[in-house]
Structure 1
Amino acid sequence: MTKKTHRRWPRVVGWTAGVLSAMAIGGTVWWQSQLNAIRHLTVRQTDIATVFIPGYNSNSWTFSPMIQRFDRYGIATDAMTINVSANGHLAITRRAALNQRNPLINIIFADARNPEKQTTQLHRIMTKLYTDYGVHQINLVGHSMGGFLATRYITQPPTAQQPAVVRFVNIASGGARADSDLADFPKNIAVLAIGGNIWGTRSDWQVPLASVQHFAKTIPQAKLITITGSPLTAYHSALHQNPQVDRDIAQFLFH
């Protein structure tokens, strides 16, 4: 290494560190500004549990951050996590009562690439919530394939020992493979559909906005919200990490 190169190296390191530091500060400021959407949000507190159903190849980080934000700002309560093993065993962690303060239930599937298996597991979960925990009414929040799983549960009438659905939030999902799958969708369930539109491309870069719009049009009582912005706010997986989406969901579920 020449003396000239040796002298230049500390400058490069210092410049890089400065840029990274500025980016980190800028990102923190931007995120804090995003949180203003829910930081002082006031909603009605009910005893209806909200069940979160993640999408294809999901993990604990799909809905955990949203649930934690709801809990942190007093919007709802992080009440229960249900980890479903590949063979269907349910490991349930309960942190709060399920009959007050907008209780939230997060489902995490170990095998998140098998919708047929997940459909069966979801029905088992619902029966357990009803019989063992006294959960007789629920809201559903589904992302991507989770929206399909939620729609399947809704359109296949629950047994006498499964919770009835009051409200349904369908994020970044067409909700069903065909319109015929929606023919039996109950008209008494309030529905909110949320789609992403990155930079006017009419897509969240995973699901076309037209698919979400079609779902909302097919369900007469459905309300549609389009999130238009950059990939940071409107990308398929960014939608459930966006505090503005948090606000829309909270105002819909807990109004």
Structure 2
Amino acid sequence: MKIRYFSPGMLVKQKGIHYSNVPTVFIHGYEGSSFSFGPLLHRLEKENVAKREMTIIVQADGTLTVEGKINKNNDNPTIMVLFAKDVADETTQSKWIAHVMHYLYRQKITRINLVSHSMGGVSALRYLLEDSREKTPTTERFVAIAAPFNDLEIAEETKEIFAYEMTKEGPKGETPIYQYFDKAMNRLPKNLQVLDVAGDLKDGSNSDGSVSIHSAFALRYLLQEHAASYQELLVTEKSGSHSNITKSAELENALIRFLWKKTA
């Protein structure tokens, strides 16, 4: 993989944006790449909201290749994590995320935000439940985008989109991964704020073409007694497709409000 370009200088601070040195870490999903979040991160920097400062490539054996550095300029630094083996299962991917977090902790980074897409959201949640307690930065905000939290096949494309329909009491059925998460929720980091995002093509499938909104929003019932706050966003039509959703203006605006909006 080639070294990525990081632009010099600092952001021009914008009114209404809260700036800090807390990095936001971006995790792609199954068969993801720099195109999963690259366009979004480019726009955020161009709009002087958050600055691309580091890319971490995780090799198949868990070793890290680090490009760039966190400059401590209160520029809302972003870190893009890329998996050299992009077709691993979510259990393996969660351990790779832990390697990244241990590295950041050794760099004296004590707080982060975590943004994830697709299977990356499932892997990130598993990391938060299993490996985020010791010698890792505290995760303050967690964003899951089009993540299949209640699917039988976490990383496989199937002709029919699997879904256990949601009711007021919760999903009608629970897959093994969902049952595992439900039992492990007492290990969720305290004071975690969560934004859960799903896509709906509005074509009658109740999905983004890959993940059902019922699976993505099943996170609601896992977190209702455990997260400090939980909110949802539904991105619709073409912008809500599984691959387009990370590039949508609606998602970008929601991320800015959730992660970096200055509060009164």
Q: TM-score range by the shorter chain?
A: 0.7 to 0.9
Q: 2:173 maps to which residue?
A: none
Task: Give the structure with higher Rg (CA).
Answer: 1
Per mean C-alpha deviation after superposition, the further-off stretch among 204-213 and 83-92 is 83-92
The CA distance in 2 between the partners of 1:154 and 1:98, in whole Å, is 25
Q: Is the 8 A contact 1:174 1:215 kept in 2?
A: no
Q: Does residue 110 of structure 2 align to residue 136 of structure 1? A: yes
Residue 122 to residue 157, structure 1, CA distance change in 2 (3 Å): closer
Q: 1:195 maps to which residue?
A: 198
Q: 2:178 maps to which residue?
A: 178
DSSP 3-state at the match of 2:48 = coil
Per mean C-alpha deviation after superposition, the further-off stretch among 244-253 and 92-101 is 92-101
Structure (1 or 2) with the greater helix fraction: 1
Q: Is the 8 A contact 2:95 2:127 kept in 1?
A: no
Q: 1:7 maps to which residue?
A: none
Q: Is the 8 A contact 1:179 1:218 kept in 2?
A: no
TM-score norm. by structure 2 comes to 0.75
Query: Deviations along 1:102-159, whole A, 9 cap, x unmatched?
Result: 110000001111133322221111111111x211111100101000111012112524
Q: 2:142 maps to which residue?
A: 168
Counterpart amino acid of residue 130 in structure 1:
Y
The CA distance in 1 between the partners of 2:16 and 2:214, in whole Å, is 32
User: Percent of counterpart pairs with the same letter?
Assistant: 29
DSSP 3-state at the match of 2:41 = helix
Q: Is the 8 A contact 1:82 1:105 kept in 2?
A: yes
Q: Is the 8 A contact 1:79 1:94 kept in 2?
A: yes
5 Å-filtered alignment, 1:213-224, equals 213-220=217-224, 221-224=229-232
Aligned residues: 213
The CA distance in 2 between the partners of 1:157 and 1:117, in whole Å, is 12
Q: 2:158 maps to which residue?
A: none
Counterpart amino acid of residue 64 in structure 2:
L
Counterpart amino acid of residue 223 in structure 1:
Q
The CA distance in 1 between the partners of 2:69 and 2:134, in whole Å, is 27
Q: 2:96 maps to which residue?
A: 121
Q: Is the 8 A contact 1:119 1:149 kept in 2?
A: yes
Q: 1:208 maps to which residue?
A: 212
TM-score norm. by structure 1 comes to 0.78
Cα drift, residue 244 of structure 1: 1.6
Cα drift, residue 89 of structure 1: 2.5
